[in-house]
Amino acid sequence: MSDFTKYTISIYTENNIGLLNRVSAIFLKRHINFISLSTSQSEIPDVFRFIIVVKMTEAGVKKIVQQIEKQIDVIRAYYHTDEETIFQESALYKVKSSSLFEERQIQNTIKNSNANIVTVSPDFFVIEKTGFRHETEELRESLEPFGLMQFVRSGRISITKEKMGISEILNTFKQQHKD
């Protein structure tokens, strides 16, 4: 399995109900699991962006991207290696408020991790940390002894170094079909 690489697949789509199902069905059919998935609005109004992280061969990811792009509501799909993208993940950590006062060490942990405190209440406080996987993971490990009430990490969000050119594609279409 040594030729398996982590790839980030970026998909620009119309915002239609059921598209997530259609995209994930392409992976399901080939027995491939996502490492992570996130969806959001893109830089273009009415255009959505999926970011899917998978571990597979380049030949495999090429075929997957072709199958994704073939879907009617998909404008374009790309795949990139980690080096070709800027990427981050976000994590939230819910900790008992009492530990903040009783355990001095926790304050240093938070300070050193460059995490933000999002909210503090009498019962709990919530820390947010954005970064690479190993960074959010380190913070989770160091907070665990203080009793993590909840932990959640987002899927990868990623921006490519190269230009995507989606607006150009859509503008060309607009000019070709003016009526």
Partner 1 sequence: MKNQETNHISGAEAVIRCLLAEKVDLIYGYPGGAIMPIYDELYKYSDVLQHILTRHEQGATHAAQGYARTSGKVGVAMATSGPGATNLVTGIADAQIDSTPMVCITGQVGSHLLGSDAFQETDIIGISTPVTKWNYQITKASEIPEILAKAFYIAKSGRPGPVLIDITKDAQFDLFDFSYKKCKAVRSYTPIPALEQDQVSAAAAVINKAEKPMIIWGQGVILGEAEEEFKNFVEATGIPAAWTILGLSALSTKHPLNVGMVGMHGNYGPNILTNECDVLIAVGMRFDDRVTGNLDTYAKQATIVHLEIDPAEVNKNVEAHYPVLGNCKESLPLLTSLVNHKEYKNWKQLFKNHMQTEYESVIQGDILPTKEGLTMGEVIVGINKHTKGDAVFVTDVGQHQMIACRYAEFVRSKSNVTSGGLGTMGFALPAAIGAKMGAPDREVVAVIGDGGYQMTIQELGTIFQNKTAVKIVVLNNDYLGMVRQWQQLFFDKRYASTEMINPDFVTIAKGYNIKAERVNKREDLDAAISTMIASDEPYFLEVCVEKEANVFPMIPTGASVSDIRLK
Residues that bind partner 1 (CB under 8 A): 13-14, 16-18, 21-22, 25, 28-29, 62-63, 66-67, 69-70, 72-75, 170, 173-174, 176-177
Provide, rounded to whole angstroms, the least separation between the CB of residue 170 and partner 1. Answer: 6
- Distances in Å between the Cα of 43 and the Cα atoms of 15, 76, 81, 114, 166 are 13, 14, 21, 28, 9
Provide, rounded to whole angstroms, the least separation between the CB of residue 83 and partner 1. Answer: 24
Residue closer to partner 1 by CB (options 29, 161) is: 29
DSSP-assigned states of every residue in 92-108: EEEEEHHHHHH-HHHHH
- Distances in Å between the Cα of 33 and the Cα atoms of 18, 56, 150, 153, 155 are 19, 10, 25, 18, 14
Provide, rounded to whole angstroms, the least separation between the CB of residue 29 and partner 1. Answer: 6
Provide, rounded to whole angstroms, the least separation between the CB of residue 63 and partner 1. Answer: 6
Q: What is the C-alpha to C-alpha distance for residues 160 and 9, in angstroms, rounded to an integer?
A: 10
Residue closer to partner 1 by CB (options 68, 139) is: 68
Residue closer to partner 1 by CB (options 27, 146) is: 27
Provide, rounded to whole angstroms, the least separation between the CB of residue 164 and partner 1. Answer: 14
Residue closer to partner 1 by CB (options 14, 141) is: 14
Residue closer to partner 1 by CB (options 29, 163) is: 29
Q: What is the C-alpha to C-alpha distance for residues 159 and 178, in angstroms, rounded to an integer?
A: 31
